[in-house]
Chains A and B, each alone.
Chain A
Amino acid sequence: MNDPGTEPRIAHLAANDFPELAKRALDDSTLRGALHHVTDLFGDKRENAVAAMPEWEAMRERARRVKEETLSRLDHYLEEFVRNAEAAGVHVHFARDAAEACSAVEKLAQRFGAQTIAKSKSMTTEEIGLNHVLEDAGLEPVETDLGEWIIQLAGETPSHIIAPAIHKTRGQIADLFADELEVERTDDVQELCSIARRFLRKSFADADLGISGVNFAIAETGSFLVLENEGNARLSTSMPRRHLGVMGIEKLIPRFEDLEVFLRLLPRSGTGQHLTSYQSIFTGPKASPDDEGPDEVHVLILDNGRSALLGDWVTRQSLGCIRCGACLNVCPVYKQVGGHAYGSVYPGPIGAVITPQLAGVEKAKTLPFASSLCGACRDVCPVKIDIPRLLLHLRGKIVTGDGPPHVGRETRKGRFLERMTFRAWAWWMSGARRYRVAGWFARKLQPLGARPGLVQRVARKLSPPLGAWTAGRELRPAAPRSFRELWREQEGSR
């Protein structure tokens, strides 16, 4: 259970619109072309990187154990982290939910008299919708990761955990820059990058506060880490006089030496890189005025529904996620519909388990069903999260709950019918005689349903699943005689 009075929330949540959003995505051929290209590219790069490491499976197992060790004693490691961070001069803040976190950051920014805020990519600040809160308070948060900056200019949410603008083509970005920045339109990649650089450099210099995410926080030393490829996180955490890192409670690892396995797993899983271009480790502010770096370092530790998952080993697994995005790139559903269809800043297989668990199953009950349970996500997860098992766990919670139907096209009646169908099915399937009789009846009735025209239309109307199947596929009819009939005959004559 969550603390009373807290309200875990994911910003811009529209997860229950998955059915409509997915259909819209399927009709967008530009989006699907971009998606196939990028997910295949990341997927192939990951595969090559993994193939070059014979110890990959052993590393995954080690990472899983470190996460399980941390999460099963999280209170202990949190206390240790806070103690050591404070000893290093870091100001530590806690927030129980998204609203508390946003208001804490807003107050800090106001205390610093900050106007421009340089932000480096952070899923946690996307989760809590920090930018909107800061903008409403009259401040200017500027996303400095290229992909994040593009979607900030476009007023969108990320569609991939590590490549937030994966859904945008070069042409669309050229148009966006021309419209929003009033520059001459170009679709030359070098020029687009130099436009971005020109605008972003100014923000680093102007910023009074830099906000980053946190990839890992080390209990033993009170340090925290940011991994990135563009150097923007390094700049936004070193040029402004204050640096604030925002992290979920699950980002902890116990020891500095545990980093080794994660620093090898994360980049290979995400982009296929052996190492990200930059790894910045922060342990407190600068020690003397002559040193480089910020005068003040703050860290905000966020719960937002996470602690409610700690009690059970099945649900706890989802807190092991290191946000590498590998499961998105191999997911056959994500590859077709992209991130925005999930209606959550956390899309794909991991999003389908994190979103309902953080925001509440009622608010994201379509997502656990948006999977064929193929298991490709489980195979690539660097910390071995059993995502299919979590999806099944959530499906069970949803179908036995009393909430409204879980799929957009379904009505309350449809939900009732599904439950009754499975109840009847279980009765039929738990006795061989009644199963045989049901099969016999189905065969006798089948010619009616197969007859084209009115009867078929009525059959489809009475059975929405039948209509859903036949919209894109032919239906395999029941065989004239069942296997067991044929077997009896064959064996009788042997």
Chain B
Amino acid sequence: MTYAYSKIKESRVTQSGEILFEDVSKTFESEAVSAVDGVSLQVAAGDLVVFLGPSGSGKTTLLKMVNRLYEPTSGKIWIGDEDIQSLSINDLRRQIGYVIQQVGLFPHMTVKKNISVVPRLLDWEKDQIQSRVAMLLDLTGLPDTYLERYPNQLSGGEQQRVGLARALAADPDILLMDEPFAALDAINRERLQKELLRLHCKLDKIILFVTHDVEEALLLADKIAVLRDGKLIQYDTPIDLVTKPKNAFVEELVGTNNILRRLSLVSIESIIKAKGRLLDKPITMDQAMVEIPTIHSDADLRSALSLLLSSGSDYLRVEDSFGTDQGLISMEDLREMLSSNQLIEKKKCDEISD
């Protein structure tokens, strides 16, 4: 291990580090109002937190203060038990992965060189870099024939995968993502969202993710920080945000009245929990004519509704992850859950299979 690498290791933030924003404000010189205004929030280790808000809400500014592309006017940001102001700026940035909307790959470097930028800055050994790059290419779903390609030979989606691999190169504990999928087409966006979720479940890193896309936020987030005019309006789990919005702004933003959206956040387990015991047999007679489809207990209610409608059955048979029969649910159960307070959020990592 070379000197520079071991030095970085020593100054590395605590492994179990959480991120703490302590009354953080930022006012740009040219502007009268604050871009970020007194934001305090705590990000638990391993969480994927989405900064959600309309443009000008300060979400990107807040993000860029974490790797000190912007310095706060007042307030402090802590990673673990270290004030980020006390760390060397380039050491800090090399420990934080950074992905931006425009990707920003280096056009004169091959995919391999792009990915290995930070390891090279950290003076990693050559073969260590080599195996890391190969691993990351695999992790982000790119074929290893891409190693010697240049960014302009890749599609937009592939470029962002390389961007993601580059950000993960030195195995940072924190990943900052500034609207990373906003410039992609719908198909690629959805694909990359799913893969990010898979990576997040697998890698256990703090991910701070900026977006103005509510669907994306609800899909990805463990917790969502809703920002408006630089202020933190609400900081909650997706399901709490949708069912208990703090004010009309949040209500409108997340679409509290959007029933399908609400259903998509709730797990079938909520029904099992609420009812205690599910039906064993159908009540209605004519159900005998139709085969009852099976659904996984981790699935969300929106999928259940969709299955009920498409199959023509009045019931769905629920199975848990061991394949054990849990009983039947009906349309009536779904309707009841819409007004229930005891909602169990669907587990994001469970539906991900490798």
The answer to whether A and B come from one shared complex is no
